[in-house]
Copies of this chain bind each other. A is one copy, B any other.
Amino acid sequence: MASGDDGNKKLKLYSYWTSSCSHRVRIGLNFKGLKYEYKEVNLVTGEQHTPEFKKLNPIGYVPVLVDGDVVLSDSFAILMYLEEKYPQHPLLPSDLKKKAINYQAANIVSSSIQPHQNLAELKYIEEKISADETLPWVEFHIGNGFAALEELLKDYAGKYATGDEVYLADLFLAPQIYRAIKSFNLDMSKYPLLLRLYDAYSELPAFQDAMPEKQPDAPSS
């Protein structure tokens, strides 16, 4: 679904290959069958702080979605916009309680875990304490969040997080579990449900095509 050089696609996604927030939106776009142009923003070289990019997103984070003259940032806002504008393959169940569980799981990731593992935070810990302290810090926050997710989802999970269909919670969980395993080598033995979900996601093309290493800006080696 992503193309590095086609300027004619209506949808554009400003993304960085390892950004888990961008990863969520990539899954969503794939899941809904939406083609888009991939616009790389190199977070390591600070491209998110350039005046051009800050005009798109004042907070200087990725992802940003451009849909014609609509420019949106924040993975959640983008996904809710896509959900309403392109209703195929819905991201939310109609049942009120199950919908709420999806929002809650998504927010456990986006408010309780991810803010404590992003590049800016890790840099800060490294500067103020030490590089050795970054891993325990991240593990503390991921561990708390994963323990909560195991509890929250245990009565709802089926093949996927909240039943036998993919929904919003899965779009937030997949990148987070990926990052915990690949970037931080987290011991997942305490989180059997999340590990099982991770395997389930590996069977789905929408999820697989969104993986960091498959993006145009991933290093070739």
Which residues of A pack against B, CB within 8 Å? 54, 58-61, 70, 72-74, 76-78, 80-81, 84-85, 96-97, 99-101, 103-104, 107-108, 110-112, 114-116, 120-121, 124, 128-129, 133, 137, 140-141, 144-145, 147-148, 151-152
Selected from B58, B96, B152, the residue in CB contact (under 8 A) with A148 is B58
Query: What is the CA–CA distance of A137 and B104 in the complex, to the nearest angstrom?
Result: 27
Contact of A111 among B114, B141, B145 (CB under 8 A): B114
A-B contact pairs, 17 of them (CB 8 A): A59-B112, A60-B148, A70-B97, A70-B100, A72-B97, A72-B100, A73-B104, A74-B107, A77-B103, A77-B107, A81-B96, A81-B100, A85-B96, A111-B114, A115-B115, A115-B116, A124-B140
Q: Which residue of B lies closest to A65 (CB)?
A: B100
Closest to A150 in B: B58
- Structural contact, B116 and A103, CB atoms closer than 8 A: no
